[in-house]
Structure 1
Amino acid sequence: MKQISITSDFTVFTSIDELEALDRELMEKAHEVRKIAYAPYSKFQVGVALLLDNGKVVTGTNQENAAYPSGLCAERVAVFYAGANYPDAVIQKIFISASPQDKELADPIPPCGACRQSIAEYEVKQSAGIEIFFMGAIGEIYKSDSLKNLLPLLFDKKYL
């Protein structure tokens, strides 16, 4: 028997002000769209802004439904929209802002498992990593250089 160790590395920014100008603008966009998320059941709002290599910015918000779990997370809304409307574009960066409606959460909130798997599909498809920035409503921002950092043992087409 052998044991392996898997680690993840993140860059941590103490506030949005530490981000480069374009990254700050995109995180602010994620904050802005988070406020219009359709989350009447969970009251947990998520906003996403992603940057494509063609310069386009795609946004998404979580969309809930009374028939759980037929809603969709903000990350998948944005990624699937980008894939459907810009199929040849490379997703370069994803910015995520998440928080309950009744308080400003300061903990960085990463993508859920289903969203990680969906983002992984696009990293494999485009043969390029996607930078992922995530935060609550306020506070620290975590940056991962690739989805593989968040999901190191990812399942992809090579297993099919």
Structure 2
Amino acid sequence: MNLVDLNISFERYADIKELNESDHLLCKQSEQALSSSHSPYSKFKVGTAIQLASGEVILGSNQENLAYPSGLCAERVALFTIGATYPNAVIESMAVTAQTSEFEILKPITSCGGCLQVMVEFERRQNKPIAVLFYCLNGEVLKVNTVKSLIPFAFVEDGLG
């Protein structure tokens, strides 16, 4: 047996004001995406903004359905929009934020496993890292420089051979 340690490096910012201009703007755009959230059941809005290499920003928000499994997370809404509309686009970075009237969110929310798996697929497909910012409204921001660091045991096509 070999014991293997996994480590993750990330940047922590106390406030959005500490970010560089492009990351700050992307976080603000993820905040704008909250307005299109359809979350009448959980009342938990999630917004995502994705910066493409072309300079275009694609927004996504969570879309709930009364049959819960039929809903879709904000990250996948935005990523699948890119896949369907801009199939050759290169993703530079993405920001994710959340808001609810039910309680105070004190820390950045992170993506679910399903979203992380889809993010890894996009990163592998473009063969270039995607930086991810998890932004807490009026709070701290966490930034990773590659999705791979968030899901080191992602399911990849190598396993299908």
Q: TM range, normalised to the smaller chain?
A: over 0.9
The residue aligned with 1:36 is: 36
- CA–CA separation in structure 2 for the residues paired with 1:101 and 1:59: 22
Mapped contact 1:16–1:24 kept (Cα < 8 A): yes
- CA–CA separation in structure 1 for the residues paired with 2:101 and 2:85: 30
Mapped contact 1:104–1:136 kept (Cα < 8 A): no
For normalisation by structure 2, the TM-score amounts to 0.95
Alpha-carbon RMSD: 1.1
1:20-69 CA-partner distances (Å, limit 9, x unpaired): 11211110111121133110011111000000111110000000000111
- Percent identical among aligned pairs is 40
The residue aligned with 1:55 is: 55
Mapped contact 1:106–1:135 kept (Cα < 8 A): no
The residue aligned with 1:154 is: 154
- CA–CA separation in structure 1 for the residues paired with 2:100 and 2:5: 34
The residue aligned with 2:126 is: 126
1:48-104 CA-partner distances (Å, limit 9, x unpaired): 000011111000000000011100000000011011111111111010011323344
- What amino acid is aligned across from residue 62 of structure 1 in structure 2? N
For normalisation by structure 1, the TM-score amounts to 0.96
The residue aligned with 1:12 is: 12
Give the drift of 1:138: 2.4
Task: Count the aligned residue pairs.
Answer: 160
Unaligned runs of 5+ in 1: none
Secondary structure of residue in 2 paired with 1:59: strand
- Runs of 4 or more off by more than 3 Å in structure 1? none
